[in-house]
Structure 1
Amino acid sequence: MRISELATESGVPVHTLKYYLREGLLMPGLAQSRTRADYGPEHLDRVRLVRALVEHGGVGIAGVHRIVEALDSPPPSPHEVLGVAHGALVGATEEDAPEPDADVREFVARLGWGVEDCQPIVQLLADAVLRARAAGIPLPDEDLERYALAMRAAAEVDLEVAGRARSTEEAMRIVVLGTVLVDPVLLALRRLAQTAESAARI
């Protein structure tokens, strides 16, 4: 298909597709002449991935670059796939992430999950806890731990879904898009659960 047809199929304007091409987010099409290239299903898949990351996931161009590079040269293990996905979604690397607050680091260590070194994500948690407490939500450690255990159960589902992928690339796509697009599903389920729990206590 030509770039105009790719735009129609994907719902992404031609000028945006050309930007994706310039930035290396979309691989070049098969050149037919100096001014024309053909694009296939793999281009359509890539455009939909980039669009979902940018529009729905709020991932910056640098993060999308890291994900695209990892898709083109997948890491050898599923755990490393997860690390690349998280790094891109959080928007920081281990090297440039600030040191998380000591009390949150200690809380994460007490969970016993062996994830204390995931500095960008621990900092993300620290920032969120700080904002909640500043707004008057106390979030004591015992409540945080109960939330953490609920999220561990959700993570088991995430990894089981990714584990059914037929390739590392597909697994990474599931991890990245799943994290971006399933988060709102979890939020909606939480609100439904709150309503059900509240009704059960009447």
Structure 2
Amino acid sequence: MINAVDTAGDQEERMISRGSTLLGTVLAVGAVVLLSGCGSSTGGDAKPAVSSTSAGPSMAADVPRSYDPCRDVPQSVLDSEKLHNKHTVDDSASGGVRWVGCQWVRSNGYGVSIRTTNLTIDLIRSRNFPETTEFTISGRRVISTRQFDGPYIKEACTVDVEMKGGSLEFNLNNPPSNRDTGSTDSCVLARGLAEKIVPSVPDTA
């Protein structure tokens, strides 16, 4: 006889694993697109709008170290968003781009990676991503972008909050099949999460 509780638990673990894998794929795609720029697509392939060798805003040498998302994101926020299953993220890409932080998932909801990066607001703006929107949170410059072509364009959103020497990045993936959050735009979710977390970043960071 199959235990109903065990079956439900197995299903949730499979869902979490799938969400983490999909989020990791989105992050990897985003790194490539960010370095090459973003433009029109033909047959699902991104066409660079700005050459990676073009002169423009410089990139910081390392990620900001004054805020550790794995340790400093308030537990009260994680609880209110039902985020769990934390995994450490320490990624790099050609050209010297770095990301350091953690990723979480919400059962039947979105997955998010919250990381510090040496990518600055000005550099991200120079890539001309679709739906680039600028605003402020707690007096800090913020930029929201869609950094992915193909099937990820609407379900993924990246919000970067200005820090000294880079930014605090919220990279959120929200497939429409998710029962709890799938009907909400991923950029609305990413901005809302940033608005909850940014006040915990020290003024000196």
TM-score by length of 2: 0.24
Using CA pairs under 8 Å that are at least 6 residues apart, name the structure with larger relative contact order, 1 or 2: 2
TM-score by length of 1: 0.24
Q: Based on CA coordinates, which of the two structures has the bigger radius of gyration?
A: 1
| Structure that is richer in strand per residue | 2
